[in-house]
Amino acid sequence: MPHPKRKHSKQRRDKRRTHYKAALPTLATCSNCGATVVYHHVCPECGFYRGKKAIDKEVAV
């Protein structure tokens, strides 16, 4: 792997990183309780995933 011959400045490094934009996760509403849920994750309010009970909220907390 090649190594740089000279140190890149902080300004040069930061200019390279300016084009990166962090994407927000896609959100949906829970079909059971209507809370906001991240796609492909269990609902944090009721514990349901795709209409089925995935976790028991009393035990998980």
- What pLDDT score does 49 carry? 94
Does this model's pTM top 0.75? My answer is: no
Cβ contact 42:55 at 8 Å: yes
Question: Tell me, what's the pLDDT at 36?
Answer: 95
Query: Is 90 exceeded by the pLDDT of residue 9?
Result: yes
Q: How many percent of the chain have pLDDT more than 90? A: 61
Task: Give the pLDDT score at 29.
Answer: 94
